[in-house]
Amino acid sequence: MPFNDLREFIDAARKIGDVEEIHGATWDLEIGALTELFANKADHPLLLFDKIPGHPPSYRVASNLVTHPRRIALASGMPPDLPRTEMVRRWRKSLQEMKPIPPKTVGEGPVLQNSKSGGEIDMTAFPAPRWHELDGGRYLGTACCVITTDPDEPWVNVGIYRVQVHDRDRLGLYISPGHHARIMREKYWAQGKACPVAVTFGQEPLTWLAAGQSVPYGVSEFDYAGGLRGAPVEVIKGERTGLPIPAAAEIAIEGVVPPPEEENRVEGPFGEWPGYYAHGARIEPVIRVQALYFRNDPIVAGAPPMKPPILTFGIPIGAAAIWNYLEKADVPDVRGVWSFAGGSAPGGGAPFIVVSIKQRYHGHSQQAALAALACRAGNYHGRYVVVVDEDIDPADMGEVLWAIATRCDPKSALTIVDNCWSTPLDPAMTPEKRDANDLTNSRAILNACRPYFWKDRYPPVNALSPELKKKFTEKWKDILT
């Protein structure tokens, strides 16, 4: 059964010994530092911080929510000991079979336990951390859901975009070019209107996971989340904006984003998912907070981007979306997909994609690479697409590098594709391109498969065959486990 809220998920993680409670860490760097130090451990737990100095002792912060595959499995109802590539395979199947379920509007919900408006609003009351050393402020919105609607078409977008606390009733909102909420926002501004917005800062995990995926324009992530959950997301109708707000959210706000010429603030810098401060501190739009709602003893959900290979979502769920697109593009015999170096960034972003195939014809590997680049989940801020044979585990960087080093002739295996969709967060973008607002980059396709026209004459690998590996693993399992 799906979790109804963040608290149920934390309780379930606690029951399997997967929660570390930390008392007394400060919001200024300590919570962020501990989040990063734990995440660098192979078997790290979910962290729950309380008794945060300067805030009520019951105001908490939860981080490393689904950074481990075990908790991704918990959130999505999968066995916690699944291999990572099998988990991507199951996510792929879930996305294929998922039927959207619209949200259910209810009259009440825990998020309405406390309601503030006007001069009562104080966003600084919550323990928003300063996550990284060079961050330009405190960020309440990292594991958040930003809710907007299209002014011309009746659909609602839910995305993960960073939200900075400026003062009591002003928040910073950064959205990278090309993302759906930014398109919606600009439509409102073109009509001379402020863009209505709602934001939640702590919600059940599948709704948040859905908000981080690259779904087609016109498809609501609330419907997508309902399909993944197998049950509708319960929402209340915001009094100020009319937007749907998850009824069991920890903290929620309603407000408007005025055109930047009307009001703006310096936002950032902020350490982003590629592992750099590429965007810097810039003038960005603000949210004028008009209403604030929160539960008793609220929990701020935190998912600060960290230097790869740490993944925001534990496994790159976007790899499952890429795999499904490959199938729709008639690429046969795909055996696995993975992405490294930020491959589960909110809203997509896959700088290093690996596709494993069983080659069937000349040009098969190039077809697979081009298709991976073409889909939304694989196109945003990519860098490399590597195609490997079916005997290579795409999630094992050691195996991938071995394939590149031994099956790849650089002169014939490398293809460059230019003028692709990038972002101001791209650390390799030149200052000249950034100043010209030319937000494009190039991609490299690396064919690390055995050359198809003589693959049957390629030297055999000196490792156990799958059949012998299975046979002897079963026979000697007592000493191997």
Give per-residue pLDDT as tens, 102-123. Answer: 999 999 999 999 999 999 999 9
On whether both 252 and 340 belong to a single domain, the answer is no
Residue 481 lies in a domain: no
On whether both 268 and 361 belong to a single domain, the answer is no
339 has a pLDDT exceeding 50: yes
- Both tokens assigned to 60: 């908490």
Q: What is the pLDDT of residue 314?
A: 83
Mean pLDDT on 366-383: 90
On whether both 186 and 79 belong to a single domain, the answer is yes
pLDDT digits (tens, 9 = 90+) for 395-454: 999 999 999 999 999 999 999 999 998 888 888 889 899 889 898 999 999 999 999 999
Q: How many domains does the chain have?
A: 2
pLDDT digits (tens, 9 = 90+) for 322-331: 999 999 999 9
The strand ranges marked E within 160-269 are 162-167, 170-174, 195-200, 234-237, 244-246, 251-257, 265-267
481 has a pLDDT exceeding 80: no
Mean pLDDT on 82-90: 90
Residue 369 lies in a domain: yes
Q: Which residue has the higher pLDDT, 375 or 234?
A: 234
Q: Which residue has the higher pLDDT, 435 or 236?
A: 236
Question: In this structure, what CATH number is given to the domain that contains residue 19?
Answer: 2.30.110.10
Cα–Cα dist 458/451, whole Å: 8
On whether both 367 and 281 belong to a single domain, the answer is no
Share of the chain above pLDDT 90, in %: 77
Residue 1 lies in a domain: no
Cα–Cα dist 1/480, whole Å: 35
Mean pLDDT on 234-253: 98
236 has a pLDDT exceeding 90: yes
Cis before 309 (ω within 30): yes
31 has a pLDDT exceeding 90: yes
282 has a pLDDT exceeding 80: yes
On whether both 249 and 326 belong to a single domain, the answer is no
Residue 34 lies in a domain: yes
342 has a pLDDT exceeding 70: no
On whether both 296 and 321 belong to a single domain, the answer is no
Domain final residue, candidates 244, 268, 301: 301
Domain final residue, candidates 268, 301, 334: 301
Mean pLDDT on 312-331: 90
On whether both 279 and 330 belong to a single domain, the answer is no
Mean pLDDT on 2-10: 95
Q: What is the pLDDT of residue 48?
A: 98
Q: Which residue has the higher pLDDT, 136 or 376?
A: 136
Tell me how crowded residue 465 is: count the other CB atoms within 10 A of its CB: 11
On whether both 98 and 225 belong to a single domain, the answer is yes
- Do 370 and 445 touch, CB atoms closer than 8 A? yes
Q: What angle do CA 51, 54, 59 make, to 5 degrees?
A: 45
Q: Strand, coil or helix: what is 50?
A: strand
343 has a pLDDT exceeding 50: no
Lookup result for tokens 């065959």: 465
Cα distances (Å, whole numbers) of residue 297 to 59, 113, 117, 388: 5, 10, 19, 50
Tally the C-alpha atoms within 13 A of residue 85's C-alpha that lie toward its C-beta: 15
Mean pLDDT on 222-232: 94
Q: What is the pLDDT of residue 200?
A: 98
Q: Strand, coil or helix: what is 33?
A: helix
- Collect all residues with Cβ–Cβ distance below 8 Å to 104 and sequence separation of at least 6: 232, 233, 234, 235
Q: How confident is the model at residue 349 (pLDDT cuts 50, 70, 90)?
A: low
On whether both 184 and 41 belong to a single domain, the answer is yes
- Do 151 and 141 touch, CB atoms closer than 8 A? no
348 has a pLDDT exceeding 80: no
Q: What is the pLDDT of residue 185?
A: 97
Share of the chain above pLDDT 70, in %: 98
Q: What is the pLDDT of residue 279?
A: 84
On whether both 133 and 197 belong to a single domain, the answer is yes
On whether both 333 and 430 belong to a single domain, the answer is yes
Residue 425 lies in a domain: yes
Mean pLDDT on 384-405: 95
Q: How confident is the model at residue 341 (pLDDT cuts 50, 70, 90)?
A: low
Q: What is the pLDDT of residue 292?
A: 98
- Do 85 and 393 touch, CB atoms closer than 8 A? yes
Helices 364-374 and 317-328 sit at what angle, rounded to 10 degrees? 120
Domain final residue, candidates 254, 277, 301: 301
- Name which of 9, 208, 5 is nearest 109 in CA terms: 5
69-73, 283-287, 342-346, 355-359: segment of lowest average pLDDT: 342-346
Question: In this structure, what CATH number is given to the domain that contains residue 388?
Answer: 3.40.1670.10
Query: Is the overall model pTM greater than 0.85, yes or no?
Result: yes
Cα distances (Å, whole numbers) of residue 196 to 150, 151, 262, 291, 316: 10, 10, 15, 12, 31
17 conformational bin, left if phi > 0, alpha if psi -120 to 50, beta if neither: left
Residue 310 lies in a domain: no
Mean pLDDT on 203-230: 90
Residue 289 lies in a domain: yes
- Domain of residue 423, residue span: 317-471
On whether both 252 and 396 belong to a single domain, the answer is no
Residue 35 lies in a domain: yes
